Amino acid sequence: MVNNITVHKGSQFTRMLVYGVISLSLYFLLYLFEDEIQAFSSQGRWFFIAPVIIAFVFSFAHGNFTSYFWDTLGITAKK
């Protein structure tokens, strides 16, 4: 029988890898399409919101990766 802790650690490791790949992909895409994003967001009016949305997406992906990374290592906050 598989221990619940082992299943939970494997699940965390998989999620860490998924969010790590997503985060790395986002950074690559930002680097690749830097000029297009800058041109789009500098058009005026409400187009300035694009970098804000991109920042929220990066924050979500990187934050989840970091959380699962520390959980996989077994480092948690004091309660």
Q: Flag whether 77 is in a domain.
A: no
DSSP line for the chain: ---HHHHHHHHHHHHHHHHHHHHHHHHHHHHHTHHHHHHHHTSSGGGGHHHHHHHHHHHHHHHHHHHHHHHHHT-----
78 within some domain:
no
Give the tens place of pLDDT for each residue, 22-66.
999 999 999 999 999 999 999 989 999 999 999 999 999 999 999
Q: Does some domain include residue 23? A: yes
Convert the pLDDT of each residue in 10-21 to its tens digit.
789 999 999 999
- Cα 50 to Cα 48: distance, rounded to the nearest angstrom: 6
Which is more confident, 11 or 77?
Answer: 11
Q: Which domain holds residue 68?
A: 4-72
When divided into structural domains, the chain yields a total of: 1
Confidence (pLDDT) at 66 = 96
* Domain annotation covers residue 29: yes
Q: What is the pLDDT of residue 40?
A: 95
Question: Is 79 domain-assigned?
Answer: no
Quote the percentage of the chain above a pLDDT of 90: 76
